[in-house]
Structure 1
């Protein structure tokens, strides 16, 4: 399926790290990264389905959960079958999008309960599997082609995952108004199918690299016996949990502060750009550091400071508070993205390259559990208090824990 389909288009292609690694990785990641546009349409979709936004939010949580778990269990398979994996990712992701659109279109006939189950299935499970497999498929290929600058290589690809929100959010907002939610999913599903299929055709490892054919294609969870890996897993989990607690509620938080719709769209594009630049910037900087773990210390310290500041200055005038909140969102988005892009290179610095896809996939299981807890922290606090104030102090505390883990468990032996 993989090599035969690659032969015709690749015959006319100059093969280098850009044409068979960076470009296909960006095509795949810019497509699947639209999962972070959830807040752009979730309120309208919940009204259309007839369920509370907090209940529908489990679709997003499920998508992140299945992303992490599919990456964890498929990492070794992907390592040996990048072409099969990229095609599976393309089919699952776009099927999930189009299935969500169909559910939204026929929600009156299905009823709220059946519609909710279908959205959980399509957006949460099927699309989530496409997300996880698509996310890890190009990463090792990039690290092999960018052997001397692994941070740059993974940063380029994973930047695409963050950049997707900046590109797709305004498009989604416009399509919602012009053609409605169902057609929005149909149009984007078709566009992303083409993009991911091109990425599938182009993606290729360096000619000289051979995977160990005798290596097991099953996940090796014995890695959890390693103290460094456990530390990396927990600090990664905490960074994602804190990021999701705010990213999935950006639009709602800004509306509470009285920010208008037009301004919210601008802020969303800025935070998405910050997320993308953080993915490229932090991972590039890590190439010049003695220990890539230093990046995480910077991320956790800066995120701790901004969340604590927003909590501390609740009593000031609204304009100043809005500026502080936007600054917090920019810092946390940058650190959130940087945590993802620096992870593969950090893992390779500790465990080598041979089994990096499998190890990276298992590390991404932290993303799965963060998907179940991140936005639910905010939902629980809002339901209990009706205010975001407690959210900020909880996140400051979690960033402090992550910083301690980075300084103790993850330090070089």
Structure 2
């Protein structure tokens, strides 16, 4: 959030190298803190310094990809964001092996240096495209070409003369590409998107953190079985980042989020029946959790392209950084409220009773409904309106 404007001025190469340095320094400070047994130093090293580093490294490649692939922004951001999740899976396995052989402080030392080497090499190839860059895949008849022309300040001809003036007004107002950063951050659309993004990832965060407990407590499965399901759930999280991002390139960003939030609403509304059916509904429960994981990942993969379409490619760094604070907020709010409600409702109850989980679902259902409603008021982008127009040809008004 703080480094976003500087990233856009200096470019992703400097930003990623700076982020790698901070992330490495945070890991090294954490190794020292563990050796000295100083908790405050862990907070400073891993919490603050490494946190700044990983945040910069997260938004740097995404910002560059939005500029290099204006015709496939969704897919580009989805692949980049899925790499973030895949790296967490790989590093977790590697860290366990290192801890067993070298100990915890040395593990942070080795991992920190390794991270810096990989990030530094990757950062050297990052750069922004030259002025006037246009990918060869854009052509005069494609939807992406029309959207690119809008970005370059050109008008798009409307097929129906009766809608021409309204469409032009929308192009001038809703798809404005010369937003200043302040205009973007204080706009109504950005506030609505913040609420939407918060609600989209809230249940996913809780489901991921509590999935193993629900499998063992409610359905009586073994811990080994639960760990296997959690690993598969991680795969759906990654695939959702690519699938929904790619889908948004074709159906529009807003429409993709409508689909994700609608899936979550249906699952949350039926969660009571899924968890009280015993073994007969177990596989239905797993399918729902994997859909939730896909929607959770899809929200992360699609949001950079959505922000770029709405506020322009030179504001994506800061806008993306700010909206990711909804992720942190959802983790804090979701964790605290869920734990408080769970403890209050699980007293004098059997561990297999799903009631404490079901009570939590109701307040999350309300938040997702608020996010779904907020999304409806976000002004559609040009890509979304093209889809609406196409559907209008198939379903004309009488």
Common topology (TM > 0.5): yes
From the superposition, tell whether residues 101 and 334 of structure 1 become closer, same or farther in structure 2 (CA, over 3 Å): farther
From the superposition, tell whether residues 209 and 125 of structure 1 become closer, same or farther in structure 2 (CA, over 3 Å): farther
Q: Is the 8 A contact 1:241 1:375 kept in 2?
A: no
1:385 to 342, 345, 348: 345
Match of 1:79 in 2: 8
CA distance in 1, matches of 2:359, 2:8: 42
CA distance in 2, matches of 1:192, 1:330: 30
How many Å apart are 1:137 and its aligned residue? Answer: 0.7
Q: Is the 8 A contact 1:162 1:273 kept in 2?
A: no
| C-alpha distance after superposition, 1:174-213 (max 9, x if no partner) | 4455555444433433332222121112212224469xxx
Question: What number of residue pairs does the alignment pair up?
Answer: 325
How many Å apart are 1:390 and its aligned residue? Answer: 2.0
Match of 2:319 in 1: 359
CA distance in 1, matches of 2:31, 2:248: 40
Matched, 1:206 2:129: yes
CA distance in 2, matches of 1:388, 1:189: 38
From the superposition, tell whether residues 250 and 331 of structure 1 become closer, same or farther in structure 2 (CA, over 3 Å): same
Which residues of 2 match residues 1-400 of structure 1 at below 5 A? 72-81=1-10, 82-107=12-37, 110=38, 115=39, 117-177=40-100, 179-208=102-131, 220-257=181-218, 258-289=220-251, 291-317=252-278, 319-320=279-280, 322-386=282-346, 387-400=356-369
**Structure 2 unaligned spans of 5+:** 134-179, 347-355, 386-398
CA distance in 1, matches of 2:13, 2:217: 46
Between 1:362-371 and 1:199-208, the stretch displaced more is 362-371
From the superposition, tell whether residues 203 and 124 of structure 1 become closer, same or farther in structure 2 (CA, over 3 Å): same
From the superposition, tell whether residues 92 and 262 of structure 1 become closer, same or farther in structure 2 (CA, over 3 Å): farther
Between structure 1 and structure 2, the one with the greater Rg is 2
From the superposition, tell whether residues 121 and 247 of structure 1 become closer, same or farther in structure 2 (CA, over 3 Å): farther
CA distance in 1, matches of 2:230, 2:209: 11
CA RMSD of aligned residues (A): 2.7
SS of corresponding position for 2:276: coil
| C-alpha distance after superposition, 1:9-64 (max 9, x if no partner) | xxxxxxxxxxxxxxxxxxxxxxxxxxxxxxxxxxxxxxxxxxxxxxxxxxxxxxxx
How many Å apart are 1:324 and its aligned residue? Answer: 4.0
CA distance in 1, matches of 2:234, 2:258: 22
Match of 1:9 in 2: none
How many Å apart are 1:283 and its aligned residue? Answer: 0.7
| C-alpha distance after superposition, 1:220-244 (max 9, x if no partner) | 4443442212111110122233322
From the superposition, tell whether residues 369 and 260 of structure 1 become closer, same or farther in structure 2 (CA, over 3 Å): same
